[in-house]
Amino acid sequence: MATQTVYIGITSPATYSPAPPVVKPSDSVVFILQGRTDSVTVTFDSGSPFSQTSFNLDGASALTAQKTESVVAGASGKYHFTAKPPGVGTRTISEDPEQPGTVSGDLEVTPDSHHPETLKRSLVP
């Protein structure tokens, strides 16, 4: 199992260590607020490689400014996420659609070659 770190700074896009952000099922992904003391909600737009589609990070404390998630078995593909401060999404069309502090990024999940579903697919002619 590997660990991927996603840094959510003040400006988009998110940064990664190691880069590029490629993980496998059962790998750990650590999301960390970097250089900010506000709170954000991290939301995956179309499906999630984790057991939940969103979670909160709060920069008021080192304990709440990071969260570790494990990639679920069977996850595969590119997963886009957005980290938004409170109040984003309540604006009208005439206002700036993206509040300062909104950060986005992607995680690529490659299939686990040891997962039974992956093995089954690779054996089918």
Over the chain (125 residues), what is each successive 10-residue block's mean pLDDT?
A: 94 94 97 94 95 96 96 96 80 48 94 56 45
* Sheet with 28-33, edge to edge strand ranges: 15-17, 3-8, 28-33, 66-70
Q: Are 6 and 32 in contact (CB under 8 A)?
A: yes
- What pLDDT score does 99 carry? 54
Whether residue 13 is preceded by a cis peptide bond, meaning omega within 30 degrees of 0, is yes
pTM, two decimals, is 0.81
What would be the CATH architecture of the domain defined by 3-123? Answer: Sandwich (2.60)
